[in-house]
Amino acid sequence: MCAAAAVWAAGSRLAMSVDAIARKLRIGPAFAGMLLLGGITSLPELATVTTSSITGNASLAINNLLGSVAVNVLLLAAADIVFGRGALTSVVAKPATLMQGVLGMMLLGMVSMIIISGDYPLFGVGVGSIIVAVGALLAIRIAASFEQREVWQPAEDAEGQSDGEGEERKDPRSLRRLVLITSGLGLLILVAGIALSQSADAIATKTGISSGMVGFVLVSFATSLPELSSIITAVREKRYELAVGDIFGTNLFNLILLLVADAVASGGPVLGSAGTFEALGALLAVLMTGCFTVGVLERKDRTVWRMGYDAVGALVLFGAGMLVMARFAQ
């Protein structure tokens, strides 16, 4: 409970610290959410993946990463409920956000293909892990440069702008102080995230749940608490691009961590040891990301249960996906 509270509090403050840094450096909210916020909130997954792989539990590491991707997208539904006035994607108007989502879907599809076809060792790691990591780095670079291009302009009356998203707010704190605060919050998230994920793993072990399901659901929810608190705070502050960029950016960083898992794990490539359960997990994340990508394109403002149709679709897909994947859990 203490670890969860620490992660929640740090994540809540982290969103606004990153936003303040982005304003001072004059970088876009989608890029700040992807690179700064997404990178920091991926620290619990880094810790979990490293410790699991070193201790010989590569399956937990892979399922934690793929599960976190799906769970992170699911968190956008929670942010949609907090937004409350319509579909969250109706106020996300930056093309860079779409680019992040599409590139993430392509990489997840690649992960599924590698798992199904098999991976091959190269310099102690899998060729597939290297390809995915390089692809994720390129995706981050493409999305970052894409935000600076005026490929199309959102409508002037888009809710995200009229609600004050584009208004300049001065932060009295210096850039150096903001960086120190953000670094401190990141360290707190890392330490508390480790404790949280280990607690979730211990609870799951005692209950006898399969290791695949433990990593994909329980540990993923535990390590995704920073994202939940940060995106809810961002939505409340009307920084919608920052919230969605955090989720899509975190997912890109999680895919890079597959190479980390491969590097520290003993034995063959980790993706080569994955099976149908993991391949289905990657495909589930593709479908859920697709829901919100379509939502950003359509910008429909209709809601069901205070959520947009895309959020409801992601919830239904997650539930159905869990039922299908349970048949292949080991």
Q: What is the CA radius of gyration of the chain?
A: 19
Contacts of 131 by beta carbon, 8 Å cutoff, 6+ apart = 110, 114
Rounded distance, CA 218 to CA 214, Å? Answer: 5
Q: What are phi and psi of 187, to 5 degrees?
A: -65, -40
DSSP 108-152: HHHHHHHHHH---EETTEEHHHHHHHHHHHHHHHHHHHHTTS-S-
Residue 160: predicted pLDDT: 44
Average pLDDT for residues 145-174, to the nearest whole number? 56
Rounded distance, CA 239 to CA 92, Å? Answer: 9
Tell me, what DSSP letter sits at residue 86?
S
Rounded distance, CA 91 to CA 76, Å? Answer: 13
Residue 126: predicted pLDDT: 94
Residue linked to tokens 């399922």 = 63
pLDDT of 7 over the 80 cut: no
Going along the chain from its start, the domains and CATH numbers come out as 2-326 (1.20.1420.30)
Instruction: Check: CB of residue 115 under 8 Å from CB of residue 262.
Output: no
Average pLDDT for residues 78-85, to the nearest whole number? 84
DSSP 247-293: HHHHHHHHHHHHHHHHHHSSSS-TTTT--HHHHHHHHHHHHHHHHHH
Encode pLDDT of 88-144 as tens digits: 888 887 788 889 999 999 999 999 999 999 999 998 899 999 999 999 999 988 888
Encode pLDDT of 36-75 as tens digits: 777 887 888 888 888 888 878 788 889 889 999 999 999 9
Residue 288 is which amino acid? M
Q: Is 186 helix (H, G, I), strand (E, B) or coil?
A: helix
Residue 156: predicted pLDDT: 45
pLDDT of 241 over the 80 cut: yes
Contacts of 150 by beta carbon, 8 Å cutoff, 6+ apart = none
CA atoms within 13 A on the CB side of 281: 31
Which region among 3-17, 31-45, 158-172, 284-298 has the lowest average model confidence (pLDDT)?
A: 158-172
Q: What are phi and psi of 170, to 5 degrees?
A: -85, 135
Encode pLDDT of 280-309 as tens digits: 999 999 999 999 999 888 877 788 888 899
Q: In what helix (H) or strand (E) does residue 308 lie, and over which residues does it extend?
A: strand 307-308
Average pLDDT for residues 226-230, to the nearest whole number? 86
The answer, as to whether pTM is greater than 0.75, is yes
Confidence band for 197, pLDDT divided at 50, 70 and 90: low
Rounded distance, CA 227 to CA 209, Å? Answer: 25
Taking the alpha carbons of 234, 297, 42, 49 in that order, is the dihedral positive or negative? Answer: positive
Tokens found for residue 42: 């991926």
Residue 129: predicted pLDDT: 95
Residue 169: predicted pLDDT: 57
Which region among 162-176, 189-203, 252-266 has the lowest average model confidence (pLDDT)?
A: 162-176
Residues 52-88: b if buried by 16+ CB within 10 A, e if exposed? bbeeebbbbbbbbbbbbbbbbbbbbbbbbeebeebbb
pLDDT of 312 over the 60 cut: yes
pLDDT of 239 over the 50 cut: yes
Which region among 59-63, 181-185, 217-221 has the lowest average model confidence (pLDDT)?
A: 217-221
pLDDT of 217 over the 50 cut: yes
| Residue 283 CA from chain centroid, whole number | 15
Rounded distance, CA 292 to CA 299, Å? Answer: 10
pLDDT of 158 over the 50 cut: no
